[in-house]
A = this chain, B = another copy of it.
Amino acid sequence: MSALIEVPAKLSLAQKYSRLSHRMRDPEWRRFGRNLLLGKFLGLALLPLVIVALHLVTSLLSSSSASADPSVPVMAADLIDQAKNPVINPINTMWVLLGAFLVFGMQAGFTMLEAGMCRNRETVNVLVECVFDTCVCGLLHWAFGFAFMFGGGNAWIGWHMPGDPTKSLIFMKDVGILSVYGATGIPIVAHYIFQFAFADCASTICSGAMVGRTRFIGDVIYSIGVSGLIYPIFGHWCWGPDGFLATMGSEGGFLASLGMNFHDFAGSTVVHSIGGWVAIAGAICLGPRLGRKFKRDGGGPMLPHDLTIAVIGGLILWFGWYGFNPCSTLSIMDNAGAGRVAMNTTLAACTGGLSAVFVVFFMVKKWDTAALVNGFLAGLVAITCPCYWVSDVGACILGAVAGVLVILGMELLEHLRIDDPVGAWPVHGLCGIWGTLSLGLFASGQYSAAGSSPTGVPSVVPHSPEALTGLFYGGGWAVLKAQCVGSVIVCTATFAAAMAMFKALNAVSLLRVSKAGEIDGLDLDQHGGSAYPEYVISTLTASHAVSGDEGDNGALASVQAAGAE
């Protein structure tokens, strides 16, 4: 980025300060300064990624010579035993495949939600982006995403079959017909499908905040970055067999003195926070859509063009969440585990939706659609991390809190003048954090800290040391601390990496569409046609949408849309 900056000749320190204070009064320079600082910060943040990448390359080149690490953490050790005698469990395999299919079905939900919440003129872009993204993600997750995330390796990244460093997971190279994932009894190929669907969710969430002004080539590139690098690598930290947050608190592990590892049952942090924080980075780097006026400037959110599609999309997401959370037990043989997760998921969604709609009702005296939908989604995001370990009452409370938070989050973005058309950050970023932390408060001390048991051994360990117990249930601060550490690390790393990526895309002008293209509408500019060429679109709204002074262009665009070939 520094190549773009004209560096002046040598100056004294006083002169420099004087120039700085003078320039700081100029908005153009303020913007420049902010970008400069941000760039440096991001450069630092990228450093670990580069280290990881280098390590990875080295590891790949020498993977056959790797020996079993004596300091391998407990979880990986368990996996090794099982990997020697893999037994496929058909019942649990069906359960995981059912989950995979349901979570994949959420793509229809995300696409409907985002398409419905955007304006008519940018609908095709949303549709193409969501589908394209899915195609990219499926391929990358097979090529290396799954290996990076779920492979054994080191604390930062994975690449080989858990417990067997001689077998590579890159391009599923050494996956045989009987290869199961560790002790789960699930074939790796089935586990891949389940996890691809999760990765795809994270990747699709990002696009929600970037609707309406992103160049499609930018979409293509950042999709590759998110699906192929950001999600699987940061995900490895939490869910990889030897990720440093997964093994945190164990002897010789990260923060050994904490004595507690990071827990994220189905991905409030791994899927939703990562998705949400990439989204907000994108929205910040892009800036708002042309004509978007914020509340403090006398405007408000641009209107969704099809609430029917949006609400149905939300319901399909809820439907798919029954694959997301319950099937994350990876076992239907874990006593009532899957049922309990399903119940908690339902309750948090219900209270989230109700609390959000009532909060907005007390604010504006209207029963608001977006609040209701974002409310139950917020509840779902929040329960995703703690769903296995909390009681039903806990689920109700933490869902209700999420419903309030999502409204506050939307107001916050409005105040910060950040244009997030579908509320991706309030729903996934903010409530992902809340859900992750809430485990530290609400873990009820009834269920095993190790999570669900694929072999059917009862997971009833009330108030034993093996149970996970939060602050409100007498378990002290340990779980909450671990959750805070994990959430802060993952969210910060994600935001930093995403900002670096988007700034780089911006620097080479690949991120935002041209002004003329945006006035024409993304659909005409990038995809050559409108989603609804036969419907007459109101010039009134269209002109509002691109702000007063571009009213004529708006009207023009609508006629073009109607008559376009």
Contacts and interface: CB of A to CB of B under 8 A. Distances in A.
Given A190-B342, A312-B111, A538-B536, A303 B88 contact: no
Nearest to A354: B135
A531 B308 contact: yes
A515 interface: no
Nearest to A344: B189
B93 A339 contact: yes
B131 A314 contact: yes
A534 interface: yes
Interface stretch (A68-76, A122-130, A244-252, A493-501): A122-130
Nearest to A176: B460
A540 interface: yes
A91 to B, nearest CB: 6
A552 interface: no
A343 B131 CA distance: 17
Given A139-B354, A177-B336, A535 B536 contact: yes
Contacts of A322: 97, 100-101, 104
Q: Is the interface of A mostly helix, strand, loop or mixed?
A: helix
Given A333-B90, A529-B303, A138 B350 contact: yes
Contacts of A108: 312, 315-316, 319
Interface in A74-126: 88, 90-91, 93-95, 97-98, 100-102, 104-105, 107-108, 111-112, 115-116, 119-120, 123-124
A336 B187 contact: yes
A538 B531 contact: no
Interface in A288-345: 300, 303-309, 311-312, 314-316, 318-319, 322-323, 326, 332-333, 335-336, 338-340, 342-343
Interface residues on A, range: 35 or more
Contact of A306 (B308, B364, B541): B308
A189 B336 contact: yes
A119 B540 CA distance: 22
A382 to B, nearest CB: 15
A135 B367 contact: no
Contacts of A10: none
A351 B139 CA distance: 7
Contacts of A353: 131-132, 134-135
A456 B88 CA distance: 10
A30 interface: no
A321 to B, nearest CB: 10
Contact of A127 (B311, B335, B540): B311
B336 A369 contact: no
A170 interface: no
Contacts of A120: 534-535
Nearest to A339: B190
Interface in A173-210: 176-179, 186-193, 196
12 contacts: A90-B333, A97-B326, A100-B342, A107-B315, A127-B308, A135-B353, A172-B343, A191-B339, A366-B526, A534-B537, A534-B545, A538-B563
